[in-house]
């Protein structure tokens, strides 16, 4: 391929991943509304460029950790769609056998160490995984996704401190959508924010437009190469916007409609679609990619609806048992 052709192929790969993430979450929201999925969903509609841009630069043996909004991260890393959808539906074929649900999907086969319902909970897991990789002499790295609300939690300080101290191969990725659940993050964050905090701990920080998939890809390409080469941890601060509410049950009436409208106009899939048409990709090809993604997720939903439920006996499996208390009668 020519250099232009290589670039176009990479942009199409980003677009395809983003469309699959969007289609998965739109399908899951429809299933939740229809009463097919128990419990709330935390979707990342509007944030797809971050997951796609980072994971395009990772190898299969690289690891990732996620947060409670992790569908996109798992899909971008290569987790199987059927296993993800069945996990949301609580079915036996889910990646966690239907016991983890939306907020706790993991697929070790592709290095997805797990989504996490605890804010900042994935940070120390990522650091521990990176410590292990370094001890094994591997050049694999860990990408750790978290939101801006996590920077006000203890594990952020502890995790970055440990990673910097031992020069661990971690790419910390802050998906800064400006909101921690229902609260504007700026209103509860002292000081200049995530970049200053990271750098004060010796972790270099690079900021990027998180709605520009090509920019995220370029930044991740550089940082991943540096980390893999032994440079130690880095933090990528990606500014983005979550178009939907905090959960599938939140209509987000607390948001300024003008802000939401502006965000929709600048959302990452539409921006990349415009870029691709400038690169000479036809609208028909782009529509086909979107259509294939929707068909894939619709088929996964239908399959999950008829998939078997877990045997009740498995509720007692995967549970740590440290034995009886010593001296107990």
3-state secondary structure of 10: helix
What one-character-per-residue DSSP string does 222-291 give?
A: HHHHHHHTT---EEEEEE----S-SSTT---TTS-HHHHHHHHHT-HHHHHHHHHHHTT--HHHHHHHHH
Q: What is the pLDDT of residue 50?
A: 98
pLDDT, position 5:
59
* C-alpha angle 243-108-17 in degrees, rounded to nearest 5: 35
Taking the chain, what is the end-to-end CA distance rounded to the nearest angstrom? 74
pLDDT at residue 55, as a whole number: 98
**CA separation for the pair 126, 141 (Å, rounded):** 9
Q: Judge whether 115 and 70 are in contact, CB under 8 Å.
A: yes
pLDDT digits over 142-166, tens only? 999 999 999 999 999 999 999 999 9
Which pLDDT belongs to residue 41? 93
State whether the Cα torsion 244-248-250-253 is positive or negative: positive
pLDDT in tens, 237-295: 999 988 887 778 777 777 788 888 887 888 999 999 999 999 999 999 999 999 999 99
Is-contact 179 145, C-beta < 8 A? no
At residue 43, the pLDDT reads 93
Contact 142/169 with Cβ under 8 angstroms?
yes
Q: How many CB atoms lie within 10 A of CB 138?
A: 13
Residue 163 token pair: 């990673």
Exposed e or buried b per residue across 224-242, where buried means at least 16 C-beta atoms within 10 angstroms of its C-beta: beebbeeebbbbbbbbbbb
Positions of the chain with pLDDT lower than 50, given as ranges: 1-3, 328-329
* CA 272/CA 89 separation, integer angstroms: 31
Q: What is the pTM of this model?
A: 0.91
pLDDT at 258: 86
Nearest of 241, 295, 300 to residue 19 by alpha carbon: 295
| 8 A C-beta contact, residue 67 and residue 116 | yes
What does the block give as tokens for 188? Answer: 């509860």
pLDDT at position 131 is 98
d(CA 99, CA 313): 12
Residue with tokens 């990408």: 143
pLDDT at 244: 84
Beta strand 234-239 with 183-184: parallel, antiparallel or unpaired? unpaired
């Amino acid at each position: 391929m020519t250099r232009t052709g290589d670039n176009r192929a990479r942009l199409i790969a980003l677009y395809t991943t983003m469309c699959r993430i969007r289609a998965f979450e739109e399908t899951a929201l429809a299933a939740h509304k229809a009463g097919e999925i128990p419990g709330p969903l935390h979707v990342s509609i509007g944030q797809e460029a971050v997951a796609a841009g980072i994971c395009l630069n990772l190898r299969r043996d690289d690891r990732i950790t996620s947060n409670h909004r992790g569908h996109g991260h798992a899909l971008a890393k290569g987790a199987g769609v059927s296993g993800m959808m069945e996990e949301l539906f609580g079915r036996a074929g889910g990646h966690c056998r239907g016991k983890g649900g939306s907020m706790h999907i993991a697929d070790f086969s592709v290095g997805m160490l797990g989504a996490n319902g605890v804010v900042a909970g994935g940070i120390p897991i990522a650091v521990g995984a990176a410590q292990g990789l370094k001890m094994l002499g591997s050049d694999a790295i860990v990408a750790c996704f978290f939101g801006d609300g996590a920077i006000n939690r203890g594990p952020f300080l502890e995790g970055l401190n440990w990673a910097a101290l031992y020069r661990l191969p971690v790419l910390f990725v802050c998906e800064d959508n400006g909101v921690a659940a229902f609260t504007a993050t700026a209103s509860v964050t002292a000081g200049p924010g995530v970049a200053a905090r990271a750098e004060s701990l010796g972790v270099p920080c690079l900021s990027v437009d998180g709605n520009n998939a090509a920019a995220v890809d370029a930044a991740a390409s550089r940082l991943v190469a540096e980390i893999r080469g032994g440079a130690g941890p880095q933090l990528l601060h990606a500014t983005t916007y979550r178009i939907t509410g905090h959960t599938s049950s939140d209509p987000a009436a607390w948001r300024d409609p003008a802000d939401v409208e502006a965000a929709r106009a600048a959302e990452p899939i539409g921006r990349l679609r415009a870029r691709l048409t400038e690169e000479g990709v036809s609208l028909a090809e782009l529509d086909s990619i979107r259509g294939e993604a929707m068909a894939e997720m619709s088929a996964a939903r239908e399959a999950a609806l008829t998939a078997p439920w877990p045997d009740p006996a498995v509720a007692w499996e995967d549970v740590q048992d440290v034995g009886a208390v010593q001296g107990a009668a």
